[in-house]
Structure 1
Amino acid sequence: MSSFVRQIDFALDWVEVEAGRAIYRQGDKSDCTYIVLSGRLRSVVRKGNGKKRLAGECGRGDLVGMVETLTHQARATTVHAIRDSELAKLPARALTAIKRRYPQVVTRLIHLLGEKILGSLQQGPVRGVAVGLQHPYSSSSTDINVLSP
């Protein structure tokens, strides 16, 4: 195993989340990305008037909170477990190390994000809270499942 893979392995934290518990809340600092290993998560947006709107759901293999972490933006949604879930927590600095060492990974992620954003504009909300991308001039969010084509 390469030293780089060992470093990433050591950087990951394994997180178990009980159903009903929040992973993070809207407005929180985004300091990591989560990878869903098992279970199911739901993303909710709280509007200015206090009402909540379902933004999406994600499951095994989905990335959660990546765009916010990459762009150093506050969390756009509240994400909570709707089933007992197991996650891998990838700190922002580990994601930065991957970006620097393997820029082709970032290129692929941008490609997948672009496809999902364009697809969601045509179809409405998509499955996967994955990155919780919110357009700065809009009150609605576009949710993206990064790992599913």
Structure 2
Amino acid sequence: MGSIFTKLTAWRRSEPITSPPSVGEAPATAEGKDQEPPMKNRYQRRKSVSAERYDPEADEDEGDQRVVHPKSDEQRKRLSEAVKNILIFRSLDIEQMQEVIDAMFEKKTQPNEHVIDQGDDGDNFYVIDSGTYDIYVDDNLVGAYENQGSFGELALMYNMPRAATIIATSAGSIWAMDRHTFRRIVLKNAFNKRKMYENLLETVPMLKTLEPYERMNVADALISKTYEDGTQIIKQGDTADCMYFVESGEVRITVKNDSNDEKEVNRIKTGGYLGELALLTHKPRAASAYAVGTTKCAVLDVQAFERLLGPCMDVMKRNIDEYEEQLAQVFGSKVEITDLR
């Protein structure tokens, strides 16, 4: 699976559930709390007997009926707020996120209720809406969630037993998604998107110097954004925080001269890229970019850019001369510029 899952697994194992990764903040620690061993759930689930990982490439269930649990407007609002920062939903687009919201169902929790028990089969993935929940591993209190977070994904991804026990310590509400729907929406969509981005990146000349596994890491870091016709993607003079790969559509590049007249200097088509040189030079954007028709771009933020594209830096720097020649053709003389984008 993608690095999103590898990193998540490594996090869970290296920091045994002491903080919810999906919200980026550590939960309350167990310090100062009575560490009473949790009572077993009276609705004991059967133990897992398999550790087979889910393989989305081998999953051919394309015709599955969409799961929809009816919700009020108030419930949809609360759920949308609860899932917006969940790590494993990061690669989903707007339509897929709506499918996630449709597929989840609400469960009210009461104090001392076991949500999941260590060693049991995984049946659902959970997102916390409200309430506090203690985390036990081998009957030891190791952390807590407070009004946010998610848990239960590893058992569904790898068909492994639950790694911890989660017990409600207050009245609260959680959202659940069943195993089959979780795999179909989250895992398979993430897999398909990764393959799509890998195919896109293979067509980018700049990335020819990358090894296949390096392109795979870049694909996992991309976030898709859609721009309507005429929408400004980059503004000349702004601070650079990302670069763009054009998935579909076209991007028009313009530069303002000393008279503040804006002239088109280039067009970037599907498979092209823009915005990288400002990240290289650490200077403001030297051009603007606009969508031509509905345009979809895969966005790579500056942190991922610096971490993943080191082998491509020399190629990108050589492109600066080409951009200066383009400006000379437009404005009639050589223009000193270190970043056309």
TM-score, with length taken from structure 1: 0.69
1:58 aligns with 2:265: no
Partner AA of 1:71 in structure 2: T
Structure 1 gaps, min length 5: 126-133, 144-149
Task: Look up the match of 1:26.
Answer: 236
**Which protein is richer in helix relative to its size?**
2
Q: 1:106 aligns with which of 313, 317, 329?
A: 313
1:135/1:142 contact within 8 Å kept: no
Task: Look up the match of 1:38.
Answer: 248
Q: Deviations over 1:110-147 (max 9, x none)?
A: 45x267358x37x936xxxxxxxx7249xxx867xxxx
**Aligned CA-pair RMSD:** 3.0
- The offset of 1:35, in angstroms, is 0.4
Aligned residues: 126
Q: Runs in 1 of length 4+ with deviation above 6 angstroms?
A: none
Partner AA of 1:15 in structure 2: K
What is the distance in 2 between the residues matched to 1:47 and 1:108?
A: 27
- The offset of 1:99, in angstroms, is 3.7
Task: Look up the match of 2:67.
Answer: none
Kindly, what percent of the aligned residue pairs are identical?
24
SS at match of 1:53: strand
SS at match of 2:313: helix
Q: 1:72 aligns with which of 282, 287, 291?
A: 282
1:55/1:142 contact within 8 Å kept: no
Task: Look up the match of 1:124.
Answer: 329
SS at match of 2:293: coil
- The offset of 1:18, in angstroms, is 0.5
- The offset of 1:97, in angstroms, is 0.7
CA pair 73-62 structure 1, distance change in 2 beyond 3 A = same
Partner AA of 1:79 in structure 2: A
Asked which structure has the greater RCO (Cα within 8 Å, sep 6+), the reply is: 1
2:242/2:302 contact within 8 Å kept: yes
What is the distance in 1 between the residues matched to 2:255 and 2:215?
A: 35
SS at match of 2:252: strand
